[in-house]
Amino acid sequence: MRIGVLLFDDVEELEFIGPIEVFGTAARLGASLSLTTISDHSPVLCRLGTRVEVQQKIHRAGPQDVLIVPGGPGAEAVKTNAAFLRYLRMPHGIIAPVCTGSVLLEAAGISNQYARFIDDCSGSGAPSSAGIDVALALVEQICSAQIANAVASIVQRQRPQRRLACSAVRGLF
């Protein structure tokens, strides 16, 4: 299963690093997942100064089975970027926005086509770590609760009492 993480300048680090850690750990535990970072340029300069070499350019990346769309201050600038909007409109299986990443789905006109995992960024009580909870919910849906719980233990994350809704759209599951 292809997991893509969409990156842009001024993206919030934890909103994509957390999901990468979760999906990468699930893959190390045997889940059949391949992970790639996607952007229109490389390197991407994140909010706190981290530089990320992107694995795939947006114009060459096809639809993903799961696309993580993190947020951050840079989302405002990206919501007018034609290449990003075209890419978001591709027939991805699931698009999972994290916090202000949802403004990109709205800008692309697809926010009603995809499930919202965290509407108010409060699923875990900490907005920036919401991406970890989103990714754990996806691992549970894609793989199993057993793998999701094992990943949570490894990344030292207590799963929320109220599990996040993980409803699929566009028929992936």
Q: With respect to residue 173, please indicate whether it lies within any of the assigned structural domains.
A: no
Taking only the tens place, the pLDDT of each residue in 55-70 is: 999 999 999 999 999 9
Residue 82 corresponds to which tokens in the numbers above? 């034609």
pLDDT confidence of 120, banded at 50, 70, 90?
Answer: very low
Does 168 reside within a domain?
Answer: no
Task: Give the number of other CB atoms < 10 A from CB of residue 155.
Answer: 15
Examine residue 91 and say whether the peptide bond preceding it is cis (omega within 30 degrees of 0). Answer: no
Q: How far apart are the first and last CA of the chain?
A: 12
Q: Residue 12 phi/psi, 5° resolution?
A: -75, 120
Give the domain range for residue 108.
2-154
CATH number at residue 80: 3.40.50.880
According to the model, what pLDDT value does residue 99 have? 84
From the CA atom positions of the chain, what is the Rg in Å? 15
What band does 125 get if pLDDT is binned at 50, 70 and 90?
A: very low
**Within-domain flag for 48:** yes
